[in-house]
Amino acid sequence: TPPDAAGLSAGAAAALALLWLLVCAPGEAGCRLLTVADLFDRVIRHSGRIHSLSTALYEKHFPPRDNELGKPARKCHTSGMQTPNGKEYAQKIPREELTHLILKLLQAWKEPLSHFNQHHQELPGDSLSKAKQISNMVHELSTGVEKVTEKMQSMGMISNSLNGMASSEATGLSIGNEADMMSDSDFIHCFRRDSNKVQSYLKILKCRIMPENSC
């Protein structure tokens, strides 16, 4: 059984929960090797929780205004990344590229989210807790996607060309000043948008890998 999570923060508990779903000690009672489908289901659910939390945080502090329609499009620090708009375009991208894109998006948000938490201690308790939880969960989701990637590579579903690519290419995005220069509203909006992309791409990738699911 996993260690007792009592007393852990909500974010740490969520991270621990996913970790124990991904890692299983040989010989442990009830232990079985997780399939690629199992791993995909877990990271997709985890990404869904992240998007729900970011939506709740955004709607609480930055509710839509009547004049939003006339405002220019927000500039996100990840705007320079070429991401497919719509399911049709994402389905045409090679599996390796789509996997790489998911990893890059997650990597690009790790440092900005940590920095956001450090400089927004004045947020109400529940909102600060959500922000910290999101940051922890993004780190854990990145680890989860890496586990899925390793599993796909070991089974020959994708090539090994991804090794070392995501972290090196995304570092330049994550350590830039663009995220720090965004307003709080734009920051949460951009993360909420990208978290939705990650979840969508994970679902599409699962369908590409396992078309028998008829999705």
* d(C-alpha 19, C-alpha 141), whole Å: 9
Angle (CA) 2-142-119 rounded to 5° is 100
What Rg value do the Cα atoms of the chain yield, rounded? 18
Give the pLDDT of residue 27: 59
CB 134 within 8 A of CB 36: no
Q: What's the mean pLDDT in 133-153? A: 91
pLDDT tens digits for range 166-212: 444 444 444 446 666 778 888 889 999 999 999 999 999 998 888 77
Backbone angles phi, psi at 136, to 5 degrees: -60, -40
Return the percent helix, strand and coil in the chain, to nearest 5: 65, 0, 35
